[in-house]
A = this chain, B = another copy of it.
Amino acid sequence: MKISLASLHKAFESRIRLGIMSALAVNDTLDFNSLKDFLDVTDGNLASHIKALEKEAFIGVSKSFVNRKPNTKYFITTAGKKAFNDHLKTLEQLIKSQKP
* A residues adjacent to B (C-beta < 8 A): 1-3, 5, 8, 10, 13-16, 18-19, 22-23, 25-26, 38-40, 88, 91-92, 94-95, 97-98
Nearest B residue to A14, CB-CB: B13
* Contact assessment for B15 and A8 in the assembled complex, using a CB-CB cutoff below 8 Å: yes
The one of B2, B10, B16, B95 in contact with A92, judged by C-beta atoms closer than 8 angstroms, is: B95
The one of B5, B22, B91, B95 in contact with A39, judged by C-beta atoms closer than 8 angstroms, is: B5
In the assembled complex, the Cα of A92 lies from the Cα of B18 at a distance in Å of 13
Q: How far is the CB of A52 from chain B (nearest CB, A)?
A: 14
In the assembled complex, the Cα of A18 lies from the Cα of B39 at a distance in Å of 22
The one of B10, B26, B95 in contact with A91, judged by C-beta atoms closer than 8 angstroms, is: B95
